[in-house]
């Protein structure tokens, strides 16, 4: 089985033979991955170098491998593996929603309905865990609606404002 694994921009060519031997970039490596008690917890030995690895989902639901306490996103290609589509499919059209990435309290709403906004403008400020979080719009537009007001408790994912595209010239 041959894999192309990309970790944070670095790509490794990894081959695992039917008897479990591992070749990386066509060099043999002595690799021993031990799963601990059915947990997503592993002890990895690579030519006797010892790593601890933990496989988990990150906030966005993507799988990540935590090595020595540091999280790495890994994507994989290989025979029978649907190529991971990391296409930069950005919606350039239609309304965009500004929602709360965390639950918290709305400290401030900086825009009014009907107001024009530019990419990067702060639409609202959310407080969560004693931190202020600025919620910005990713592109130019007009505020169609605002569905929350300062002082209000907000759930995760709750929509705070909807921004319409600028009318086409």
Partner 1 sequence: MIKKVLVANRGEIAVRVLRTCKELGFETVAIYSEADREALHVRFADEAYCIGPPPPKDSYLRGDHILQVALEAGAQLIHPGYGFLADSPEFARACNDAGVTFVGPLPETIEQLSDKAAVRRLARRLRLHILPGTKRSLDDAQLLASADKIGYPLLLKAAAGGSGIGIQIINSHSELETAIPTARREARTTFGDGALYLERLIENARHIEVQLLADAEGHIINLGERECSIQRRHQKLIEEAPSRALDSSLRRKILRSAVRIARTVGFIGAGTVEFLLDPEGRYYFLKVNPRLQVEHTVTEAVTGVDIVKEQLRIASGRSLRYSQKEVKPRGWALECRILAEDPFRNYTASIGRISRLHEPGGPGVRVDSGIYEGLAITPYYDSLLAKLVTWGETRGVAIVRMRRALEEYRIHGVMTNLDLHRALLNSHRFFGGQFHTRFLEEQFVPKEPEEEEYLAAALTTALLDWRRRAGAQTQSNGVANRWKMLGRWELLGGGDP
- Interface positions with partner 1 (CB under 8 A): 1, 3, 5-8, 10, 12, 14, 16, 18, 20, 22, 24, 29-37, 39, 41-46, 48-56, 59, 65-70, 72, 74, 76, 78, 81, 101-105, 107-108, 125, 127-133, 150-151, 153, 156
- Closer CB to partner 1, 18 or 167, in the complex: 18
CA 64 to each of CA 119, 146, 155: distance values in angstroms, whole numbers, following the listed order: 30, 35, 25
If the CB atoms of residues 67 and 144 are measured against partner 1, the closer one turns out to be: 67
Distance CA 120, CA 140 (A): 8
Q: How far is the CB of 92 from partner 1 (least distance, A)?
A: 24
C-alpha to C-alpha distance for 48 and 29, rounded to whole angstroms: 10
Beta bridge partners of 46: 31, 49
Q: How far is the CB of 66 from partner 1 (least distance, A)?
A: 7
Query: Which CB atom, from 122 or from 159, has the smaller least distance to partner 1?
Result: 122
Q: Quick one: 155 or 166, whose CB is closer to partner 1?
A: 155
Measured from the CB atom, the residue of 131 and 169 that comes closer to partner 1 is 131
Q: Supply the minimum distance, in Å, between the C-beta of residue 53 and partner 1.
A: 5
- Cα 16 to Cα 32, 41, 72: the distances in Å are 12, 21, 21
Q: How far apart are CB 43 and partner 1 at their closest, in Å? A: 5
């Amino acid at each position: 089985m041959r894999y192309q694994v990309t970790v944070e921009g670095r790509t490794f060519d990894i081959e695992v033979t039917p008897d479990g031997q591992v070749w990386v970039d066509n060099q043999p490596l002595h690799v021993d991955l031990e799963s601990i008690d059915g947990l997503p917890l592993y002890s990895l030995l690579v030519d006797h170098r010892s790593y601890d690895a933990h496989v988990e989902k990150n906030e966005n639901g993507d799988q990540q491998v935590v090595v020595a306490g540091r999280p790495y996103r890994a994507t994989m290609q290989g025979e029978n593996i649907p190529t991971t589509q990391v296409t930069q499919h950005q919606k350039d059209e239609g309304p965009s929603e500004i929602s709360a990435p965390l639950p918290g309290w709305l400290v401030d709403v900086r825009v009014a309905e009907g107001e024009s906004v530019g990419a990067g403008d702060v639409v609202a400020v959310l407080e969560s865990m004693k931190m202020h979080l600025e919620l910005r719009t990713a592109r130019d537009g007009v505020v169609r609606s605002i569905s929350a007001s300062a002082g209000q408790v907000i759930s995760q994912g709750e929509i705070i404002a909807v921004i319409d595209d600028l009318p086409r010239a």
